[in-house]
């Protein structure tokens, strides 16, 4: 069945919109290449942009489950698989661009992957994501059984960590985007942990936002201190000023805080029925 249809085979407009949207970043990169805007190294620039989109899409696909419970919109889950497969497709495209950049010399590609640590990590993440993409069909869920399938697909968190490490390691100087993506990943993982333990109120969400903002600032300062020797306190202090740019930690704080009004909207849309005594969620 085409990805833009529902289980009955009828057109699902929301799925169609997401399906079309998934092509837009690749079309945008191709358009920039066509216009000569990726010069002087168009393929290398395309590798960067498609690599960034791979991580962004991975995070968007991981955000579906938390958002579904925050805004209480169950239909969001209809596009989770599509987003995940989209991320895999971008990862494969990123790899193919790399092979093209190496003049289609597969021997050279293989030896670079073995010799360069950041490429080894990227390649492991790619293999893992492809395995998840291949096993994402209904048939594979049936064949593997729900328990084994879930266990396998939980590796997506580890694969995302590997992707983030790969993007940090390849960065020459500026790690703004990897830091931002790491901060957002922390928000998603933090929400998962809170949700599992029953902390589903507004206060834990606000606390999560502050904690992840601070952690993001520490990750950034720690990275610069370790890689470039820049005084960590100076990098941390940069978070207090928005004159030049808004630092990733502030973005993370603002994005995570936006979950609070979203939760309120969700509660208005679909109020939770009273739970049996002893099963109330905390805060
Ligand atoms: C799931 C797998 C992968 C993900 C999510 C990923 C993601 C990324 C990201 C986010 C960047 C940085 C983009 C930027 O900051 O501008 C990047 C750069 C790069 N990646 Fe990947 N990547 C993956 C796998 C691979 C593989 C398998 C290779 C090749 C073997 C590769 C080769 C490169 C190269 C060459 C760069 C640019 C490095 C430079 O210009 O020095 N990546 N990747």
Got the DSSP string for 39-73? TTSHHHHHHHHHHHHHHHHHHHHHHHHHHHHHHT-
Q: Tell whether ligand 1 has an atom less than 6 A from the beta carbon of residue 54.
A: yes
Residue 95 lies in a domain: yes
Q: Are residues 118 and 24 in the same domain?
A: yes
Q: Tell whether ligand 1 has an atom less than 6 A from the beta carbon of residue 48.
A: yes
**Of 147, 170, 193, which closes a domain?**
170
**Of 142, 170, 198, which closes a domain?**
170
Q: Tell whether ligand 1 has an atom less than 6 A from the beta carbon of residue 97.
A: no
- Kindly tell me if the per-residue pLDDT of 283 is higher than 80: no
Residue 279 lies in a domain: no
**What average pLDDT does this structure show over 58-80?**
95
pLDDT at 204: 96
pLDDT at 280: 46
Q: Tens digit of pLDDT for each residue in 210-252?
A: 999 999 999 999 999 999 888 899 889 888 887 778 899 999 9
Domain range for 188 is 172-271
Q: Tell whether ligand 1 has an atom less than 6 A from the beta carbon of residue 252.
A: no
Q: Tens digit of pLDDT for each residue in 125-159?
A: 999 999 999 999 999 999 999 999 999 999 999 99
Residue 188 binned pLDDT confidence (cut-offs 50, 70, 90): very high
Q: Are residues 188 and 159 in the same domain?
A: no
Residue 24 lies in a domain: yes
Residue 281 lies in a domain: no
Q: Are residues 235 and 250 in the same domain?
A: yes
pLDDT mean across residues, the chain:
93
Q: Are residues 162 and 204 in the same domain?
A: no
Q: Are residues 142 and 176 in the same domain?
A: no
Residue 26 lies in a domain: yes
Q: Tell whether ligand 1 has an atom less than 6 A from the beta carbon of residue 87.
A: no
Which of 53, 110, 122 for mutating ligand 1's site (highest number of atoms within 8 Å of CB)?
Answer: 122
Give the Å distance between the CA of 224 and the centre of ligand 1. Answer: 20
Q: Are residues 6 and 83 in the same domain?
A: yes
Residue 282 lies in a domain: no
Residue owning the nearest CA to atom 30 of ligand 1: 119
Atom nearest to 128 CA in ligand 1: 1
Return the percentage of the chain with pLDDT > 70, whole number. 96
pLDDT at 276: 54
What is the rounded CA–CA span in Å between residue 75 and residue 18?
A: 13
Residue 275 binned pLDDT confidence (cut-offs 50, 70, 90): low
**What average pLDDT does this structure show over 106-124?**
98
**Of 150, 170, 190, which closes a domain?**
170
Give the Å distance between the CA of 95 and the centre of ligand 1. Answer: 8
Q: Are residues 135 and 209 in the same domain?
A: no
What's this model's pTM, rounded to 2 decimal places? 0.93
**What average pLDDT does this structure show over 98-121?**
98
- CB under 8 A, 24+ apart: contacts of 203-210: 203/283, 204/282, 204/283, 205/70, 205/256, 205/259, 205/260, 205/263, 206/257, 206/260, 208/256, 208/259, 209/252, 209/253, 209/256, 209/257, 209/259, 209/260, 210/253
Q: Are residues 143 and 25 in the same domain?
A: yes
Per the structure, the count of domains in the chain is: 2
**What average pLDDT does this structure show over 160-176?**
94
What is the rounded CA–CA span in Å between residue 184 and residue 164?
A: 11
Q: Tell whether ligand 1 has an atom less than 6 A from the beta carbon of residue 167.
A: yes
Q: Are residues 181 and 147 in the same domain?
A: no
Q: Are residues 149 and 17 in the same domain?
A: yes
């Amino acid at each position: 069945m085409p990805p833009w249809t529902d289980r009955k085979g009828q057109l699902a407009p929301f799925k169609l919109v997401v399906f079309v949207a998934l092509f837009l970043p690749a079309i945008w990169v191709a358009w920039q290449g066509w216009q000569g805007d990726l010069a002087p190294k168009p393929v290398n620039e395309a590798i960067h942009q498609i690599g960034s989109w791979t991580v962004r899409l991975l995070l968007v696909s991981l955000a579906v489950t938390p958002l579904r419970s925050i805004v209480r919109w169950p239909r969001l889950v209809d596009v989770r698989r599509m987003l995940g497969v989209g991320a895999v497709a971008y990862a494969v495209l990123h790899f193919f661009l790399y092979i093209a950049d190496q003049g289609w010399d597969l021997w050279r590609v293989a030896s670079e992957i073995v010799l360069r640590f950041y490429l080894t990590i990227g390649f492991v993440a790619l293999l893992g994501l492809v395995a998840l993409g291949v096993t994402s069909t209904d048939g594979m869920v049936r064949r593997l059984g729900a328990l084994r399938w879930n266990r396998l697909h939980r590796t997506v968190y580890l694969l995302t960590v590997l992707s983030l490490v790969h993007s940090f390691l390849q960065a020459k100087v500026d790690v703004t985007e990897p830091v931002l993506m790491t901060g957002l990943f922390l928000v998603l993982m933090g929400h998962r942990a809170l949700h599992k333990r029953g902390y589903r109120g507004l206060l834990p969400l606000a606390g999560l936002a502050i904690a992840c903002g601070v952690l993001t600032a520490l990750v950034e300062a720690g990275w610069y201190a370790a890689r470039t020797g820049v005084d960590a306190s100076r990098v941390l202090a940069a978070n207090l000023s928005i004159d030049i740019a808004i630092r990733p930690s502030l973005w993370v704080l603002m994005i995570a805080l936006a979950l609070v009004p979203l939760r309120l909207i969700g509660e208005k849309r679909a109020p939770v029925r009273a739970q049996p005594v002893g099963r109330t969620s905390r805060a």
